[in-house]
Amino acid sequence: MAEKEKEQMLGLTVKKEDDFSEWYNQVVLKAQLADFGPIKGFMVIRPNAFQLWEKIQNIFNEVIQEKKVKNAYFPLLIPKSFFEKEASHVEGFAPELAWIENKEEGEEKVAIRPTSETIMYDSYAKWIRSWRDLPLRINQWCNVLRWEVKQTKLFLRTREFLWQEGHCVYETEKECLDEALMFLNEYKNLMENYLAIPVITGEKTEKERFPGAKQTFTLEALMPDGKALQMGTSHNLGQNFSKTFKISFLGKDKKEHLAWQNSWGFSTRLLGAIIMVHGDNKGIVVPPKIAREKIVIVPILFEASKEKVLMKAKELNEKLKKFNSFIDEREEYSAGFKFNEWELKGIPLRLELGPKDLEKNQCILVKRNSGEKKAIKLNDVEKEIEKALNEIHKEMFLKAEKFLKENIVKANSWNEFIKAIEGKKMVECIHCLSPECEEEIKNTTTASSRCIPFNSKEKGKCIKCGKEGKKVLFAKAY
Amino acid sequence: MAEKEKEQMLGLTVKKEDDFSEWYNQVVLKAQLADFGPIKGFMVIRPNAFQLWEKIQNIFNEVIQEKKVKNAYFPLLIPKSFFEKEASHVEGFAPELAWIENKEEGEEKVAIRPTSETIMYDSYAKWIRSWRDLPLRINQWCNVLRWEVKQTKLFLRTREFLWQEGHCVYETEKECLDEALMFLNEYKNLMENYLAIPVITGEKTEKERFPGAKQTFTLEALMPDGKALQMGTSHNLGQNFSKTFKISFLGKDKKEHLAWQNSWGFSTRLLGAIIMVHGDNKGIVVPPKIAREKIVIVPILFEASKEKVLMKAKELNEKLKKFNSFIDEREEYSAGFKFNEWELKGIPLRLELGPKDLEKNQCILVKRNSGEKKAIKLNDVEKEIEKALNEIHKEMFLKAEKFLKENIVKANSWNEFIKAIEGKKMVECIHCLSPECEEEIKNTTTASSRCIPFNSKEKGKCIKCGKEGKKVLFAKAY
């Protein structure tokens, strides 16, 4: 195969701005981030993406350890009767359940977990006896399955996905609510300070609330196609589940009390958000703080100087081990091909090293996010790389934040609302919060409420029905 | 509740030597390692045990990274047709599959993975094109489901369990076999040098081989009740799967070749082995190298000196942070109760600190495995703890190794074989390796072949049928 052909096969054939959906699929497949599984709606998470998920797991495991949450593992299969205990919960999940064929007649039917509230709380009811057992804070990293009917999109909408779900139990409502918000805040920190994705936090309206929750808090990000993506949620479950699962404890007052509960989760859809928000026409751009391999060294090889250049490249690589640097010394590919490949795969920094650089005791540093090139002295390389990685994170975040700010518009009338949604914006407006009115908006525009932003005291008349309302964000959503 | 009653509830009510099976269940439940799930055959892995699994994951993730294996994630559900491609594979797993009820008529049936060879190799066939794509080394940590009919035993025999499964593809058979053995050896290192459990390595007989494998290598440990436990396996799959899944590559010779494959795995049953091998009549004994919290500090509190003792305990705790030490300063429990609780839960070291110790600038160090007590100077505490942890590991391993050696007996006749199996021994004997003869042995004694030990050149006449044979180990097994 000619060099030219190989390079064409590798690269993306559509532009992000021309066909966002096709661009996304190409990045995911060509950068070997995921693949379609053999069954509709299922995905294979390939090593290039799985290592990002592992990094996110490591970061968040440190957080939850600090917050005294412990990891555990609960069964994959849940009995039918468990779902039925909490009415709104079963209603919310019933259509999406995958049932197992009975092995023996008369057995109770069981389904694959779509989420684990019910099976975890059955155990909690056994384990919790007294105030001494509280707070109980448990998290699990696992797979869940929701037999979605909508079209699948790798990472964003698949029948099976990976996630973490934290489930805590408290003596008092205050503790419960405080920590639900604390975990939401830890999510925000993860998303903004590691994934470089700005999020808007707020509370979900009744219509968009988690089935069985008293309050649902959310983090919403805006994708380049104007659609919002829910990045994670934290639920104040109140006593809804403790009532039905009989999670009670003997209080310090020697009386029996129902416990207070929250739950919170984020999933592998974060990987989809990273691709969408940061990716460009060359491929994915991996946020430096979650990139395992932060640097690729590409030696520029000519017959005469090859040995010398390779030797220097290896020396450099040795020096940069803590960044998990690696050398691409394949001889069957051109330097240009290599540049394209590692740009496609999103390695944050490239160091080019040729015979002329050697003479000047330098290398060329190239930033993946901006393409910015710079000659740096080999003596300063570590310092320069630290600096460049920090810059990249900042630049990526600021670019995404600018986009977010520029694409939220205020709508003061129903016409303005429709125009903004058609213009692929996120819309800030006054809404009455009634599920029926929201349903109408969804039916006419396909936009849904994303959240009631925190700290917004604004009030007024609902943009749709004219009743008293509060500030709410709307957008089309994934 | 009176102090005495509380202490009784906490402790084990049977002895390991009197009723091993009941002892095991009590340790698992009372040390809060696992619990029964609501569906028969399913378990909840509680934080006390899950943290051991996480530690094992961390240790092994470092190994596989060094060996250039990458983690990924493949779908939970597998189409029926995939199982049917490899005849012996489907035969091996068919009775244990959990099928999903079809959502739409005419859809292909799908089952929950009992292992992932088929679904991974379907992707591999798409991904592998040329010798440049090899070796391909992928591992996944996941849940699998096998609808076993035998009685469940927490960690050891449950319908769902967690494991890692590595699946690699190579250009040559030699590389494939070499690495199958290399991974087995890494397992041995994990089990002996971290879990302190001695294992015997060897090859499985035809009867006990993995369905679809050309060769299965195994690590076998001996439990205190004389039953063997298979701790992990590594399979040389040859070209059996590459044939049926059409995993071929364009070689350096420009010709198309079938690839060579191996797979290897261990599961959460390792946690069961740790409990059985090391546990005693006080509870679980956690091997120090996988214990997250290696030290509990129990201050001996009297009204007059409480403040001073607690202050010193905190100082000590601060000094020992790298061992994840913690102080049990609960006032509603006696020191004796605390000793029992942390012994039940297996913390490797206890430091007791009372007012008299303070006067002597010392504390009392107690080793969980042996109960050995020793006063150590507070100035030497770090050094002494390092030393004690190393000693504990060695003592635990040597004790288990002694038991293993003492409980393998040679049988030169069928009568000796029967006597040894009835005497709860592992038996070394000559066997003809024919599956039919092995089946007969199993039917009459319930013992099965564990492995043909590596490097055994011994030959002779089969102990059962008199045909030519090789040295084989037999035992009853979990």
Between the CA of residue A330 and those of A313, A335, B251, B382, what are the distances in Å? Answer: 13, 9, 17, 49
Residue in chain B closest to A96 (alpha carbons) equals B103
B141 Cβ under 8 Å from any chain A Cβ: no
CA distance A209 to A156: 19
In this prediction, residues A18-32 reach a mean pLDDT of 97
What's the confidence (pLDDT) of residue B234?
98
Nearest to B72 among A50, A112, A145 (CB): A50
CATH label, B293-390, candidates 1.10.238.10, 3.30.70.1380, 3.40.50.1820, 3.40.50.800:
3.40.50.800
pLDDT of residue A150: 74
Q: Name which of B42, B101, B147 is nearest A75 (Cβ-Cβ).
A: B42
CB of B35 within 8 Å of a chain A CB? The answer is: yes
The shortest C-alpha distance from B151 to chain A (Å) reads: 16
**Domain A408-475: CATH superfamily, name plus number:** C-terminal domain of ProRS (3.30.110.30)
pLDDT digits (tens, 9 = 90+) for A43-65: 999 999 999 999 999 999 999 99
State whether B100 and A99 contact (CB < 8 Å).
yes
- Asked whether the predicted pLDDT for residue A9 surpasses 90, the reply is no
Task: Decide if B472 contacts B451 (C-beta within 8 A).
Answer: yes
Chain A nearest-CA residue for B35: A123
CA distance, residue B67 to nearest chain A CA (Å): 15
Report pLDDT digits (tens) over A209-268: 998 999 999 999 999 999 999 999 999 999 999 999 999 999 999 999 999 999 999 999
Tell me what pLDDT residue B9 has.
57
Q: Are B83 and B94 in contact (CB under 8 A)?
A: yes
Nearest alpha carbon to residue B53 among B323, B324, B285, B268: B268
Closest chain A residue by Cα to residue B37: A75
Contacts of B132 in chain A (CB under 8 A): 332
Q: Tell me the CATH class for B15-278.
A: alpha beta
* Cβ neighbours of B122 in A, within 8 Å: 38
Question: What pLDDT does residue B104 have?
Answer: 81
**Is B73 near chain A, with CB under 8 Å?**
yes
DSSP string, A30-54: HTTSEEE-SSTT-EEE-HHHHHHHH
pLDDT at B424: 96
Tell whether B463 is within 8 A of chain A (Cβ).
Answer: no
Helix (H) or strand (E) holding A192: helix A173-193
Residue A3 pLDDT grade (very low, low, confident, very high; cuts 50, 70, 90) = very low
* Residue A383, C-beta contacts closer than 8 angstroms, at least 6 positions apart: none
Other beta carbons less than 10 A from residue B248's beta carbon: 17
Contact A386, A433 (CB under 8 A): no
Q: How far apart are CA A259 and CA A263, in angstroms?
A: 13
Question: Would you say residue A430 has pLDDT above 80?
Answer: yes
| DSSP codes of every residue in B226-257 | S-EEEEEEEEEEETHHHHHHT-EEE-TTSSEE
CA distance A75 to chain B (A): 6
Residue B276 identity: M
Q: Do B51 and A71 touch (CB under 8 A)?
A: yes
Q: What residues contact residue B193 under an 8 Å CB cut-off, 6+ apart? A: B289
The structure's pTM equals: 0.96
pLDDT category at A6 given cuts 50, 70, 90 is very low
| Residue B399 Cα to chain centre, angstroms | 18
B-chain residue closest to A30, CA distance: B127
Q: Which of B61, B70, B73 to mutate to test the interface with A (most CBs of A within 10 A)?
A: B73
Fold assignment, A49-278: BirA Bifunctional Protein; domain 2 (3.30.930)
Side-chain-side CA neighbours of residue A361 (13 Å): 4
- Cβ of B70 within 8 Å of Cβ of A51? The answer is yes
B79 touches chain A (CB under 8 A): yes
Give me the pLDDT at residue A91, please: 83
**8 Å CB contact of A42 and B112:** no
Closest-CA residue of A relative to B110 is A39
Tokens of B312: 């010193």
Nearest to residue B463, comparing CAs of B404, B403, B406, B421?
A: B421
Closest approach of A257 to chain B, Cα-based (Å): 19
Q: Return the number of CB contacts < 8 Å for A and B.
A: 124
Nearest by CB to A100, from B43, B47, B98: name it.
B98
The token pair at A374 is 């710079």
Block mean pLDDT (10 aa), chain B, length 478: 50 95 97 96 97 98 97 97 86 90 88 96 97 97 90 94 98 98 98 98 96 96 97 97 97 97 98 98 98 97 94 97 96 94 98 96 98 96 98 98 98 97 97 96 97 91 96 97
Give A292-403's CATH code, choosing from 3.30.2310.20, 3.30.450.20, 3.40.50.800, 3.40.50.2000.
3.40.50.800
pLDDT in tens, A160-214: 999 999 999 999 999 999 999 999 999 999 999 999 999 999 999 999 999 899 9
Residues of A in contact with B79 (CB under 8 A): 38-39
Residues of A in contact with B43 (CB under 8 A): 75
Which residues pair with residue B263 across a beta bridge? B167, B235
Instruction: Tell me the mean pLDDT in the region A449-473.
Output: 94
CA distance A122 to chain B (A): 8
For the residues A408-414, what does the mean pLDDT come to? 97
- Give residue A18's pLDDT: 96
Domain spans, chain A? 49-278, 292-403, 408-475
Contact B77/A at CB under 8 A = yes
In DSSP terms, B34 is beta-bridged to: B45
ipTM for the complex?
A: 0.96
**Does the beta-carbon distance from B44 to A160 stay under 8 Å?**
no
Partner-chain contact B45 A77, CB within 8 Å: no
Residues 6+ apart with CB under 8 A from B340: B7, B10, B11, B282
Under a CB-based contact definition with an 8 Å cutoff, are residues A119 and B37 in contact? yes
